[in-house]
Structure 1
């Protein structure tokens, strides 16, 4: 259980869970938002109306232009969470992976937003090759059209959230930890194959000071990965789609096309070109060295950042054939037609070919 409230008023502890993207953040957020009331009873508050407001707050902290295009209420979201958190006597949790894109100055402002509170930073991590491979896929699921080689050459795959700025663990830690003592920086290494399914949640709960067994965690993986053929199919489809709002991309591209229809297809895991292996090895070593030298609190196996070598073992995007793309696209069109037919209650549209 969390410590008692600060006698001066306001929260005693504030936990800023900043990502990285594709390190089990969706899973952890599903647990905490699904158990929000129970967590409040246990002394931990998630301010705001829900996950989307934490996303807005992450972008608002970074002073993103055109934020109001996402939603008229998006501007000012960071301060709203701060104000609500400041009014709590319980601990406070703010969680969104887009926070890791903040500059050093913006990160300092975030930490300074809670004077008098004990601010903790929670960073979830995995090896760089896996983060980049999954991050590129996520960019495509969100409407991106940039190919993997271009991303690895330094071109953003769909905005700052999908770039090396948010995938480089050492750089993120450098920007975010300058104002925090080492014992308040918690690195949670994402569990690997063969480790307990709920281990990531148990580590997160340990940092938050709650009993993991008192809260329901999903039995199945969330935010499923797609096969390399399906990702290349979706990337080509994205090139022909009209501009969508962020919410529409989430519903129709990520939700409907990717995680519903394409996720049903037989798939083969993608990999990364071996030519980039030295680069990712260097990133992993730099992150592990920084964590060890600074003495950050680590849960999980830090050696796993440099010890796992699975991301490069899959199939490269450039090996996907036109015949495979055609087969995947054919399945996709057939499933869409079936859905349209079902949603119109078998009403056949009139056309010039109708009798």
Structure 2
């Protein structure tokens, strides 16, 4: 039976993809070090988060998806060591769902791991992530709610650390709730992995950190262009289609490399994020959670450098990005056609004769 189960519940956009991109290719090395990544594959942890949150969409995820949580628990029960379950959508679970999940992992000792980020950075990053999933909501209208639905993962429900702690902290003793504060500006990329390993009790060099990647951001014009493309886009309704074509092919590979201006939401949204950060820090300071790092980095600074807002993007700017995209896509199609087109058959004897007669 597993001794301890570390359940990494998010938050979204706090380096979770980076950590998972290191852990999953190093799965066998982690197991040798005494840490199990249970389940048949990485997607089992996403599917488990849906099952825990009673999301009926699990039925559309294909054969075997509905049994993912059972597979994970069976693996945990059969391993003599520690285990890690990691997906950022767990954090949207209700208090009742959180308690049930912890109880279903008994008799293992469950530890919660929460990676964090300041609320303003979370708001802008999660808005971009929603665009990569075909959303069309302008930034001015984004983050205006606190949903009661555990299926809503791109909402303050999962982005507000204080709200997540309210639902999840009763599920385990405070000393078993581990908060990883943001790394200071200028820290090496590997700092997050090192802190994560410190909580898990493994050496950072157990896995190859070069496999990790950070989700880069689009500039303000590029983000607004993607939002407008989504408004006209039909199809691409499955998670795989969105992931392959919108997130990877269009956003990450063609819009992100352009760079572009960084941006802020509206002043009232900035102030809302500032208040949420202050409430979360006050809650942490009043607790006895295990905190790794400086929680003051969860506070939104009083003075912020000036940045654009997406509403300032002009039609001409969008048209310029769109034209560049058309040219890029045509070059992509040409290269792909040249790679996949079969070589031309050599001319037949009759064709060679005709060419000779024509003087070719």
Instruction: Give the TM-score normalised by structure 2.
Output: 0.89
When residues 288 and 36 of structure 1 are mapped into structure 2, their CA distance, relative to the original with a 3 A threshold, is same
Q: How does 1:145-184 map to 2 (within 5 A)?
A: 145-154=136-145, 160-184=152-176
Q: Which residue number in structure 2 is paired with residue 259 of structure 1?
A: 252
For 1:46 and 1:313, how far apart are their aligned partners in 2? 43
Q: Does 1:72 align with 2:70?
A: no
CA offsets 1:18-69 (integer angstroms, 9 cap, x no match): 0000111111111111211110000000011222111111111111123221
For 1:233 and 1:105, how far apart are their aligned partners in 2? 40
Instruction: Judge which range, 28-37 or 210-219, deviates more.
Output: 210-219
Q: Does 1:287 align with 2:280?
A: yes
Structural RMSD (CA): 2.0
Q: How does 1:1-355 map to 2 (within 5 A)?
A: 10-154=1-145, 160-218=152-210, 221-243=213-235, 244-306=237-299, 308=301, 313-345=306-338
Secondary structure in 1 matching 2:114: strand
Secondary structure in 1 matching 2:291: strand
Work out whether residues 60 and 74 of structure 1, in 8 Å CA contact, stay in contact via their aligned partners in 2.
no
For 1:192 and 1:272, how far apart are their aligned partners in 2? 23
Secondary structure in 1 matching 2:62: coil
When residues 309 and 54 of structure 1 are mapped into structure 2, their CA distance, relative to the original with a 3 A threshold, is farther
Structure 2 gap segments, 5+ residues each: 342-360
Work out whether residues 118 and 299 of structure 2, in 8 Å CA contact, stay in contact via their aligned partners in 1.
yes
When residues 347 and 282 of structure 1 are mapped into structure 2, their CA distance, relative to the original with a 3 A threshold, is closer
Q: Which residue number in structure 2 is paired with residue 7 of structure 1?
A: none
How many Å apart are 1:250 and its aligned residue? Answer: 0.3
For 2:304 and 2:228, how far apart are their aligned partners in 1? 23
When residues 155 and 92 of structure 1 are mapped into structure 2, their CA distance, relative to the original with a 3 A threshold, is closer
CA offsets 1:203-256 (integer angstroms, 9 cap, x no match): 100110001133221387422111111111111111122232111100000010
Greater gyration radius: 2
For 2:332 and 2:171, how far apart are their aligned partners in 1? 52
Work out whether residues 133 and 311 of structure 1, in 8 Å CA contact, stay in contact via their aligned partners in 2.
no
Secondary structure in 2 matching 1:160: coil
CA offsets 1:169-202 (integer angstroms, 9 cap, x no match): 1110111110211110000012132123211111
How many Å apart are 1:74 and its aligned residue? Answer: 1.7
Secondary structure in 2 matching 1:19: coil
Secondary structure in 1 matching 2:250: helix
When residues 62 and 311 of structure 1 are mapped into structure 2, their CA distance, relative to the original with a 3 A threshold, is farther
For 2:25 and 2:303, how far apart are their aligned partners in 1? 31
When residues 155 and 117 of structure 1 are mapped into structure 2, their CA distance, relative to the original with a 3 A threshold, is closer
When residues 192 and 319 of structure 1 are mapped into structure 2, their CA distance, relative to the original with a 3 A threshold, is farther
Secondary structure in 1 matching 2:183: coil
Secondary structure in 1 matching 2:178: strand
Secondary structure in 1 matching 2:83: strand
How many Å apart are 1:91 and its aligned residue? Answer: 0.5
Structure 1 gap segments, 5+ residues each: 1-9, 349-355
Secondary structure in 1 matching 2:209: coil
How many residues are paired up? Answer: 337
